[in-house]
Every structure is written in structure tokens, then in C-alpha cells.
Chain A
Amino acid sequence: MSRDFYVMLGILAGILGGLLLAVIIVRVTKTNGNPRSEYDERQTAARGQGYKYGFFTFMIGNAAYAVFATGFERLPLCAASAMGLIIILSVLVHISYCVWHDAYFSLNENQQRLKVIFALIGFVNLALSIGSICAGEMVVDGVLQISSLNLFCVVLSFALLAELALKYGKGGAQEDEDEV
């Protein structure tokens, strides 16, 4: 068997594993059996606004990468890492906006379970990142390699959890107290 065959097999297994994980997450986090996230009209509007800012971030990030890639002979991160970083930054902008505008969690979402899943994702990626660093695969010849995507996922997961804790935690700003 050629190496290409195993690479293709690996990619296929990764896609199937990802799909399976997505199905499990949806099953576990939805409270009413509906796999689709249900948002009310204010949340939908806020999410649209957040998506816009995320999209702008993506465009600016791409333009910045193009400028740096043209202007410098050698960047401290490979193309895949740069793309991953830009995507993670864009997603972070989007979810941050949604969190601060109470539009992150849908109406049919089990928030606690979703937080646990994000923590798990963060820790799994943290373990993979530490493994990459120990194996010397994270940085090769001063250039951040594709395995840095795990590290970016760690930052994203824990940044989201930190924002949720700040927004909804006991010590956080509770600007929307229920007053009957």
C-alpha cells in the first residue's frame, strides 16, 4: 500500500470521526430533541451583527497575511497556521459578540453540558499541543507548524469559557436582574 492511501484513509477517518463527534454533541446539548439551534428574533439579529464583525476580522486577517507574506522573506508561522489563526480570531470575534449580547446559547441548549464539552475540547487540544511541543513538532526552524492549530483551539475554548464566566458568573456583571 502506498503512503497516499494511508493519508487518504486518515483524512476519511478524521472526517467521519468529526461528523460522529458533531452528532453526539448535538444530541447531548439540545434539550428538546430538535438538532437545530433555536434563537429568538433579538438573538438572531445580534448573531448576524456578530457574524459581520467576524467576517470583517477574517478579511482584515487575510489582507494582513498577504501583506506580511509579500513583505517578509520568512514568516514565523506556516501558511496553514496563519489561515488557522485567522479563522480562530474571526470565530473568537463572532462568539465574543454573541456572548456579550446574550445570543450565544440558543433557546434549546443545555448550557452546562456545552460548557463541559468546550472544556473537554480545550483539554484534549492542550494535551495534543503539549505532545507536539515535546516531540519538537510545534516549531521547526523557528517556524510555527500546523500542529499549532491545537494550541489555537485551546486558546479559543478557554477564552470562550472565560467570557462565559465573566458574563454569567457570580462575580460577573449581572445587568439583567429579573425584577417582578
Chain B
Amino acid sequence: MKNLRLKAARALLDMSQQELANAVHVSRQTINAIEKGDYNPTIKLCRAICRVLGKGLDELFWEEDEGEG
């Protein structure tokens, strides 16, 4: 599943994938894979991304179950 929230948060700061990748010390392709939903990052990387984008883990990576109210 695509992570559109991550993409939106990055776009809000006017950051490119490369800039975010440099900030969290990963490759641009890794950021791209996370946004496309092709790669499931570790909690360590999730936290680093959240720190750079100024968001919480819930805001970027938590997936609500459809049944949950």
C-alpha cells in the first residue's frame, strides 16, 4: 500500500526524496520504495523520518484497520 501521508508530509516541507534520504542517511531509492509501499522500514528508520519531517509515528506510519472505529 502506498504511503501517501509520507509523500504529503515531505512535499509540505518542499523536500525532494533525495533531500529526505540524505537527512536520514539512506538511499533515494529506499525513500521511494517506502512511499510506493514496496519496502516496510524498521522502527529505527521510521523514527528518523518522523524526526526530520516533524511528524509522529502514528501520523505517517500507522495504518488504521477498516473495522476500527
Contact = CB atoms under 8 A, between A and B. Distances in A.
Interface stretch (A60-68, A144-152, A172-180): A172-180
B15 A180 contact: yes
Given A102-B27, A178-B28, A180-B10, A42 B15 contact: no
Q: How large is the interface on A (under 10, 10 to 19, 20 to 34, 35 or more residues)?
A: 10 to 19
Contacts of B7: 179
Interface of B: 7, 10-11, 14-18, 25-30, 32-33, 36, 39, 41-42, 44-45
A107 B30 CA distance: 11
Say whether chain B's binding surface is mostly helix, strand, loop, or mixed.
helix
Given A178-B18, A179-B7, A180-B15, A41 B45 contact: yes
Given A180-B15, A180-B16, A102 B29 contact: yes
B27 A180 contact: no
Contacts of A41: 26, 30, 41-42, 44-45
Interface of A: 38, 40-43, 102, 107, 176, 178-180
B28 A42 contact: no
B32 A42 contact: no
B2 to A, nearest CB: 11
Contacts of A42: 26-27, 29-30, 33, 39, 41
Contact of B30 (A38, A40, A179, A180): A40
